[in-house]
Structure formats: C-alpha cells, structure tokens
Structure 1
C-alpha cells in the first residue's frame, strides 16, 4: 500500500485508490501518514482536530475516528492489510508502512541524491534528480484535507523543501545553459512566489541569456515595482546586479 500527500491525500493498494470521506477522519489519516512508523500521541491528534478548544468528549471522539479509519481500511483493503496498518502504541497510534510507500519520503530521497550529485560536480545528474523529485508533486500538500495547527506545520515544511529543490533545479539548469526552457518555469515561479527575489533574479538572467533582453528589463521593472508598492523595499543587490548585467550585455 502506498500513501500520497504531495497533493490530495490518497491511499493506494494496487489499483484501488482510497480516501476517507469524513473530514476529521481524513485529518487523522494525514497525521498518521506524515508520522508513519512513529507514534502519534492522542494529545497531538486532539490538538490537530480542535486546537485550544477541544470538546469534553475529545478523547472518546478521537478514538472513534481511529476506529472508523481502521474499519475503512479493512473494508477497502481487506482484513489482512487493514488490521495491521494502524496499531495502538501508547500514548497513541502508529501507521506501519514501508518508508518507500510514502511519496514525501521518496521526494526527500531524490532531493538528497540531487544535492549529492551537485556536491560531486555532476550537474547533469543533479538536474535529472531534481526533475524526478519535483515530478512527484501533484499540487498543494494535503489539498483535500482541512488542516489544523499540526498539519499546517508539516505542510509548511514540505513547501519549504519543495522551494529548496526548485532552487537547486534552477541552479543546475542555469549552469547547463538551459535558458530557453527555464523561462516558462521561472515565470510560473515568480507568479507563485512573487516576493522571492532569487526567483525574480533568475528570471531576469535567464531571459537575458536567452536573447530576450527587452523582456529581461521588463521583468526587472515589474519586480522593482512590486517590491516598492507591496513591501516598501528596494530591489536586492543581486536583483540590481542582474539588471546591470542586462544593461551591459550587447544589444
């Protein structure tokens, strides 16, 4: 059985795709998956589901959600898999599953391979591994799950890791002079992360290297206005240097 959280959460057993329909049961599953093979305390489950205002029946209700999840696993995946998937382990519960069955763990392993290749000077391999890692993403993590404080922290950390791998991919692709194919990717990134000046800088540089000097200056101007109007900031030194590189390049 595989568990996917880099997008809508799903459990996959061969060709069978299963997702709980009840929102809070889905939250509990997300917690168990993100802490797979480690104990998730009942206290953590309650904190995720209700924050600082748990009902008096919180313990019993949380235990009911675990029961419902176990029963759903049995119904969807069969007695053998369902009964062994979630086990009681004081002070809470554990989802037992191989690490390779978790998409976010596989993403992290691929990212580590990419970093190792870059450190070793193999830029081509680093670019390939980052592409493989990023291809595992299907959208916003836990896109179909209501997120309380605990899950939101996990999602934020996953997003930060994704940004880091995207930066690594851009660095590798720039070194390989893949400027033309990077432009579309960088345009998408600056829309998604408009205040990330590193992405803005790389877009200016990639456009210029691709022979699109006017568009590079337009990208710089757009970034400068955004930073001024939204944050009251001047462009960073790196972004200004990118503009200067464009101005100094042959027409």
Structure 2
C-alpha cells in the first residue's frame, strides 16, 4: 500500500489507484496519513473535519468515517486494517513498507540528498534529486477546505519546501552554466513570488551572465519597489550585493 499526499489524496494498492469522493472522509484520511505512525486524538480529528463548528453528532460521524476508511484500505480476504484504535484517538500504520509507503517521505529524502549534493558541489546529481522531488508534487492538497492545524500546517510546510527545492534547483543549474536557459523560468518564478528575494537574485545573475546587464539592474529596481511598497523594507544584503557586483563589473 502506498499513500500519495503531495497533491489530491490517493491510495495506490498494486495497480489500482483509489481516491475518496466524500470530502470529510478525505480530510480525515489526509490527517492520518500526514501523522502516519503517530496517534491523532479524536479532538484533533474533530477540528480537522469540522473546524470550530462541532456538531452534536461528531463522535458518531467520526466512527462512520473511520469505518469507511478501514473498508477502503482493507485487503480482500483479510480483516486487518492499517487504521488502529489507539487512545485517545486513531493511528495509521505504514506497515512493513515503512517510509517507502508514503510519497512525502520520498520527497523529504530527495530534498535532503539534493541539499547535500549542492553543498558539496555535485551539481548534476543535485539537479536530478531536486527535479525528482518536484516531480512527486502533483498539485494542491484539498485546496480551500482544510479547517484544522494539521492540514493547514502541512500545506504551509509543503509550499515552503517546494519553493526551497525550486530555488536550489535553479542554483544547481546556474552552477552548471545554464544561465540563458533559465531566464524565462526565473522571470515566471519572480513574478509568481514577488517577495521571494532569492528568485530576483537568481534572475539578475542569469541575465547578467547572459549579457543583459541593463535588464538585470531593472529587475533589482522592480524588486526594490515591490519590497518597499508591500513590506516597507529594503532588499536584503544578498540582493544588494548582486546589484553592486553588476554595477562595478566592467566586463573584464
């Protein structure tokens, strides 16, 4: 059994991919998957499913949803289920497959490997690790319906981890000399994430190394204006240093 949480939740059982149409059941299973091999209390699960507006029938509803999940995950011909009752709540066990049963663990492993490769100057394997990590991310998880801190916290963490992965991928590719090829991607990233200074810095570097010094300096001015208008701050030291380097570069 493999659980995929880096996008719309699905369960892979052999060649079959199972999805859940009932939103509350999907939220419940997502919370259990995110906290796999840990006990999640009934109070925590109530908050994930219903937020602060708890119905009187919450406990009965939770029993029904747990029963539906157990039926979904049960192998034919067996009575065992990976969802266990463990006071004060429930726990999803990954079983003998361990970390291989969850795409989230693959993502974090690849991200860690990529960081190590990048830190040690192994740029080609770094690129492969970051690309493979990003390829696991299939889209938003339960967009706009996460009510509780487990799902909301996970979505926030995953968004930040994906951005870090993309930044590091751009860094590794530039270290391999692919500046010109990255310009369009970095324009898009810096536009989508205008407060992310790393993408502006990388775009300035890519443009400068592609012979577009003026465009690189325009990127700095735009980034500075955005940061001042949105946050009331000046660009950080890294961005200022890149601007200074470009300004003082006489082409030799």
TM-score higher than 0.5 here? yes
Distance (whole Å) between structure 1 residues aligned to residue 238 and residue 119 of structure 2: 23
Listed one character per residue, the Cα deviations across residues 8-58 of structure 1 (whole Å, up to 9, x for unaligned) are 111122332211111110100101111122222212101212233322222
Task: Give 1:87's aligned residue.
Answer: 84
* Aligned-residue offset at 1:235: 2.4
Conservation of the 8 A alpha-carbon contact between 2:205 and 2:242 = yes
Conservation of the 8 A alpha-carbon contact between 1:111 and 1:165 = yes
Answer yes or no: is 1:222 the counterpart of 2:222.
yes
The CA RMSD measured in Å over matched residues stands at 2.2
Task: Give 2:148's aligned residue.
Answer: 149
Conservation of the 8 A alpha-carbon contact between 1:3 and 1:33 = yes
Conservation of the 8 A alpha-carbon contact between 1:36 and 1:96 = yes
* Aligned-residue offset at 1:156: 0.9
Distance (whole Å) between structure 1 residues aligned to residue 144 and residue 157 of structure 2: 16
Answer yes or no: is 1:213 the counterpart of 2:213.
yes
Task: Give 2:76's aligned residue.
Answer: 78
Task: Give 1:40's aligned residue.
Answer: 40
Distance (whole Å) between structure 2 residues aligned to residue 2 and residue 90 of structure 1: 25
Conservation of the 8 A alpha-carbon contact between 1:26 and 1:145 = no
TM-score, structure 1 as length reference: 0.88
SS of the residue corresponding to residue 84 of structure 1 reads: coil
Q: How does 1:12-161 map to 2 (within 5 A)?
A: 12-74=12-74, 78-80=76-78, 83-97=80-94, 98=97, 99-140=99-140, 142-143=141-142, 146-150=145-149, 151-161=151-161
TM-score, structure 2 as length reference: 0.87
Identify if the C-alpha distance between structure 1 residues 164 and 33 changes in structure 2 by more than 3 Å, giving closer, same or farther: same
Unpaired runs of 5+ residues, structure 2, are: none
Identify if the C-alpha distance between structure 1 residues 9 and 78 changes in structure 2 by more than 3 Å, giving closer, same or farther: same
Count of residues in Structure 1 that have an aligned counterpart in Structure 2: 247
Task: Give 2:185's aligned residue.
Answer: 185
